[in-house]
Amino acid sequence: KGEKAIRYGLAGIKGVGGGVADAIVAEREKNGPYKGFMDFCIRLGSVVAVGEDGKRGSPLINKRALEHLARCGAFDSFAAADPSFHRARYFNNVEFAIKRAVGLAKEKASSQASFFDVLDASVESTASDSELADCPRWPLMENYRAEREYMGIYLTGHPLGAFEHVLDTLSTFKIDSPPEIPFMEEVNSPKPLRVPVRLGGLLKSCQVRMSKPKKPNEEPKPWAILMIDDSRSEMEALAFAKTYAKMADWLPDAVETPVLICGELMHRTNRETQAEEAGLQFFVREAYALSEGICRFANSLYVDFVYEDPKLEEKMKAIATLAAGNPGSIPMHVNLSYANGTRVKLELDGGVNPTADFLGAIGKVAIKDKWGMDAKSDIFAEPPPKYPGRN
């Protein structure tokens, strides 16, 4: 609602802890708000642990704590006024900030060796964030992954958030409302019926197992049990050896990122009797990172604008700028609607690359407008064999 509030306690961040969190708050209350990342490092560098005997120990905050704070977005407020500052820039400059602060400490206390041991919190910072070396910002998905890793939750957004306008088109069903699949006896079929489907969602887990050899000289082969979350429910999907071999080099590392899986749904079967049972099984044939899946199955991306919108020109320029800055293979167009019912399709020059960052930016421009994707009818990029057996 735009109100200031505590969204997550600093003490809960991995590698930070209660002592550091208390020190951060105490220093702020004593000497005022932190002016920036360098100011934060210099002022917090003097805070050390004090034992029961009154002796000063090691610093409460260290390189690891600073890196974790940067990774999970604790310094985002410093970057609010200048987009050239971001999490990657703070993270990559932690070591520089420490060395820079050590130099300042030596100027203040030349007889001492380390600023972390001696720098007084009241010393005025003479270092500026403008000294921090620039670097490429992390993709949106990397920020989300770090939040999940260091805080246990997604704080600033959800990995599927940027894709919500295309998932309904890309996925052919929702987990909580799967397609109706007749049982064998209902259609007099000798084999369980398989329905081709596509499903986009968050890869929650990828458990790799080894197959049991069926022949004396046969080697065990890896296969995987996937758990997919489409933001409404979760579903297990099986990628057997032949299929998993095509994705083994990237899929285990894609946990907590959006993916698209293509495969077949069928009723569960009893292993001994081969009789169908209640519940469905998803057999994977293809898997892609969601952005790649969009590239394979999208005919185009579109945005619907109204001609009478007073902000139309501003929005059109913003969309054109975003498209020009994200060149790729997917066509994109604007559908312009007039009050008399006329609709005009305006093609943008070149194609676009549908990354999460790009789609998220489109969503901000078209926050009150309709936008999405026109998808191909093909379920698979490479149609599976007619009689596939175990994939």
Give the pair of three-digit tokens for residue 2.
Answer: 């735009």
Please name the residue ranges forming H helices in the chain. Answer: 17-31, 37-44, 63-71, 87-92, 94-108, 115-118, 140-151, 164-170, 184-187, 241-244, 290-297, 312-325, 356-365
Q: How confident is the model at residue 51 (pLDDT cuts 50, 70, 90)?
A: very low
User: What does the mean pLDDT of the chain come to?
Assistant: 86
Alpha-helix runs per DSSP H in 122-220 = 140-151, 164-170, 184-187
Q: What predicted TM-score, i.e. pTM, was given to this entire model?
A: 0.77
Residues 25 and 12: their CA atoms lie apart, in Å, by: 14
- Looking at the predicted structure, is the pLDDT value of residue 276 above 70? no
Cα separation, 187 vs 225, in Å, equals: 30
- Nearest Cα neighbor of 101 from 67, 125, 75, 135 is 125
What is the structure's pLDDT at 50? 44
pLDDT in tens, 280-329: 899 999 999 999 999 999 999 999 999 999 999 999 999 999 999 999 99
**pLDDT for 177:** 92
- The residue with tokens 């960052």 is 357
pLDDT score, position 110 = 64
pLDDT at 153 over 80: yes
**pLDDT value of position 47:** 52
CB neighbours of 391 closer than 8 A, spacing ≥ 6? 239, 240, 242, 243, 263, 283, 284, 285, 384
How confident is the model over 118-141, as a mean pLDDT? 76
Give the per-residue pLDDT at 36.
Answer: 93
State the pLDDT at residue 73: 94
pLDDT of residue 122: 47
Q: Which two tokens stand for residue 20?
A: 């550091």
Query: What pLDDT was estimated at residue 48?
Result: 46
Bridge partners (DSSP) of residue 56 are 50
Given a contact cutoff of 8 angstroms between Cβ atoms, the answer to whether 357 and 161 are in contact is no
Non-local (6+) Cβ contacts of 219 within 8 A are 213
Give me 377's structure tokens: 């009818």
Q: What is the pLDDT of residue 124?
A: 52
Provide the residue ranges of all domains of the chain, joining segments of one domain with +: 10-155, 163-293, 295-375
Question: Is the per-residue pLDDT at 102 higher than 90?
Answer: no
C-alpha span between 264 and 323 (Å, rounded): 35
CB 39 within 8 A of CB 97: no
CATH architecture type of domain 163-293: Beta Barrel (2.40)
Ranking 60-64, 95-99, 284-288 by mean pLDDT, the lowest is 60-64
Binned at pLDDT 50, 70 and 90, residue 275 comes out as low
Q: Average the pLDDT over 333-345 and give the result.
A: 95
Residue 2 identity (one-letter amino acid): G
pLDDT, tens digit (0-9, with 9 covering 90-100), for 1-36: 556 677 778 999 999 988 889 989 998 999 999 999
Angstrom distance (rounded) from CA 185 to CA 305: 51
Tell me which residue has tokens 């704590």: 65
Using pLDDT thresholds of 50, 70 and 90, give the confidence band for residue 385.
low
User: Which of 131-145, 153-167, 184-198, 286-300 is predicted with the least confidence, judged by mean pLDDT?
Assistant: 184-198
Which range has the worst mean pLDDT, 113-117, 146-150, 263-267? 113-117
